[in-house]
């Protein structure tokens, strides 16, 4: 894929990010910022015997692509001071501790802001820094539950809400929200010379994704449950249909001209003017079901997708990985692990990221850049050796 917009280098070249979060929204944010060219330092706890460590599987979060790494003991005075000295030359710090923990550790916003007034300090949590739920532990499913997302989705056979196939709250609700806020704060800092504190809640981010449904309820009292409104499948033209080979196809023909095209190509022209006819939706849906069951998914996709019908096949993960469209777009790249060998992974595919990259080497869990990072923070070789010997840094 041609990429003329990167003739002058990565978009975030020169931006340094310290990331204290290894999973969830913080990890997603670090991944995206690195893909845009930021210098991201992944800071993990030291590997003390008996300590509980959350270490992502080697292939997750881009397999650490382009990350610098170090381990710090933030409960020690020396480790804490090392982080604070790193913040003096950084642009962004991301953390994902529970509310109040960074202040108890002595690395909270006020302390860091005093050391570097330009730094953008981003706290990522599930439910925010305050409020009744702020102390709750949680993961993606919990955040989606609290946002109304699950209640709006088609129920399972047992009547319960479904478990989504992607970490929507962590990624879009948390990680992407954090990145947008960080970039906005960087722009403001360029004008004012002052950093900012950002309170990012993954659940609130999920609520923002639900704004169409929630705003509809707040304005009109209409609840967007399954099959209740357009975007949850109330009408036959916005639904999923099984095909003759047991696969599925998605239909989202909202605009009238797309709907009419769909009806004509399905051989159901008699319904072309009944798109929103409430009394005919069951009849139209059954006619669509019968039509789609007459051919395979790929046959219908070839027949309908190129002809303005808002139709696309429901792909499995292996099919996504093989799909010629994504291949041509450069969605995947190679990585090489010293033990696992060569494998593919999702490339930096957000707009503005550089997709055309050489194979990158996946680092082992023991590799760090601590010596070089401490040197850039002003530590002497003797001081670095002492920190390593004491176990404050690894």
6-35, pLDDT tens digit by residue? 456 799 999 999 999 988 999 999 999 999
- Average the pLDDT over each of 99-103, 110-114, 357-361 and give the range with the smallest value: 357-361
Sign of CA dihedral 267, 272, 277, 278: positive
Based on the number of CB atoms within 10 Å of its own CB, is 161 exposed (0-12), middle (13-18) or buried (19 or more)?
middle
Query: Are the C-beta atoms of residues 56 and 21 closer than 8 Å to each other?
Result: no
Query: Are the C-beta atoms of residues 138 and 126 closer than 8 Å to each other?
Result: yes
For 228, what's the count of Cα atoms within 13 Å in the CB-facing half-sphere?
A: 14
**pLDDT single digits (tens) 150-185:** 999 888 788 788 888 888 998 899 999 999 999 999
pTM here is: 0.90
Looking at the DSSP bridge assignments, the partners of residue 241 are: 249
Q: CA nearest 30: which of 104, 81, 97, 95?
A: 95
Q: What's the average model confidence in pLDDT over 331-345?
A: 91
Query: Are the C-beta atoms of residues 60 and 30 closer than 8 Å to each other?
Result: no
Domain positions in the chain are: 4-209+348-390, 230-242+248-313
pLDDT category of residue 50 using cuts at 50, 70 and 90: very low
pLDDT category of residue 377 using cuts at 50, 70 and 90: very high
Pick left, alpha or beta for residue 167 (phi over 0 → left; psi -120 to 50 → alpha; otherwise beta). Answer: beta
**pLDDT single digits (tens) 126-145:** 999 999 999 999 999 999 99
Q: Which residues participate in catalysis according to the annotation?
A: 139, 170
What is the spatial distance between Cα 183 and Cα 181, in angstroms, rounded to a whole number?
5
Q: CA nearest 143: which of 113, 112, 166, 121?
A: 166
- Number of other CB atoms surrounding residue 347 within 10 Å: 22
Looking at the DSSP bridge assignments, the partners of residue 17 are: 40, 92
Domain 230-242+248-313 falls under CATH 3.30.413.10 = no
Q: What's the CATH fold of domain 4-209+348-390? A: Rossmann fold (3.40.50)
Residue 46 or residue 48, greater confidence: 46
Report pLDDT for 1: 38
3-state secondary structure the chain: CCCHHHCCCCCCCCCEEEECCCCHHHHHHHHHHHHCCCEEEEEEECCCCCCCCCCCCCCCHHHHCCCEEEEECCCCHHHHHHHHHHHCCCCEEEECCCCCHHHHHCCCHHHHHHHCCCCEEEEEECCCCCCCCCCCCCCHHHHHHHHCCHHHCCCCCCCCCCCCCCCHHHHHHHHHHHHHHHHHHHHHHHHHCCCEEEEEEHHHHHHHHCHHHHHHHHHHCCCCCCCCCHHHCCCCCEEEEECCCCCEEEEECCCHHHHHHHHHHHCCHHHCCCCCCHHHHHHHHHHHHHHHCCCCHHHHHHHHHHHCCCEEECCCHHHHHHCHHHHHCCCEEEEEECCCEEEEEECCCCCCCCCCCCCEECCCCCCCCHHHHHHHCCCCHHHHHHHHHHCCEC
Looking at the DSSP bridge assignments, the partners of residue 252 are: 238
**pLDDT single digits (tens) 244-301:** 999 999 999 999 999 999 999 999 999 999 999 999 999 999 999 999 999 999 999 9
């Amino acid at each position: 894929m041609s990429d003329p917009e990167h003739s002058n280098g990565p978009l975030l070249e020169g931006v340094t990010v310290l990331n204290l979060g290894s999973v969830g929204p913080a990890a997603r944010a670090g991944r995206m910022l690195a893909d845009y060219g930021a210098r991201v330092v992944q800071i993990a706890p030291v590997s003390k015997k008996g300590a509980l460590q959350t270490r992502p599987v080697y292939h997750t979060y881009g397999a650490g692509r382009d990350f610098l790494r170090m381990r710090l003991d933030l409960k020690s005075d020396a480790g804490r001071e090392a982080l604070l000295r790193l913040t003096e030359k950084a642009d962004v710090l991301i953390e994902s501790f529970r509310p109040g923990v960074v202040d108890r550790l002595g690395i909270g916003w006020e302390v860091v802001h005093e050391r570097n007034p330009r730094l953008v300090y981003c706290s990522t949590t599930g439910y925010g820094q305050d409020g009744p739920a702020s102390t709750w532990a949680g993961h993606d499913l919990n955040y989606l539950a609290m946002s109304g997302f699950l209640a709006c989705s088609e129920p399972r056979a047992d009547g319960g809400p479904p478990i989504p196939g992607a970490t929507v709250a962590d990624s879009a609700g948390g990680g992407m929200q954090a990145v947008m806020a960080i970039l906005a704060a960087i722009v403001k800092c360029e004008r004012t010379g002052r950093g900012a504190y950002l309170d990012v809640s993954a659940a609130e981010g999920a609520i923002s994704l639900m704004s169409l449904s929630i705003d509809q309820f707040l304005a009109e009292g209409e609840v967007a449950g399954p099959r209740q409104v357009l975007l949850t499948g109330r009408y036959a033209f916005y639904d999923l249909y099984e095909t003759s080979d047991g696969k599925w196809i998605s239909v989202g023909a909202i605009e009238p001209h797309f709907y009419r095209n769909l009806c004509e190509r399905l051989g159901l022209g008699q319904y072309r003017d009944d798109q929103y006819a409430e009394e005919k939706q069951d009849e139209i849906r059954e006619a669509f079901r019968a039509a789609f069951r007459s051919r395979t998914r790929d046959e219908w996709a070839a027949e309908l997708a190129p002809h303005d019908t808002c139709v696309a096949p429901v792909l499995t993960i292996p099919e996504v990985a093989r799909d010629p469209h994504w291949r041509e777009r450069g969605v995947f790249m190679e990585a090489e692990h010293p033990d696992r060998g060569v494998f593919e992974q999702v490339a930096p595919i957000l707009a503005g990221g550089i997709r055309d990259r050489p194979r990158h080497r996946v680092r082992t869990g023991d590799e760090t850049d601590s010596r070089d990072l401490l040197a850039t923070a002003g530590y002497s070789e003797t001081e670095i050796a002492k920190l390593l010997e004491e176990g404050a840094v690894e």
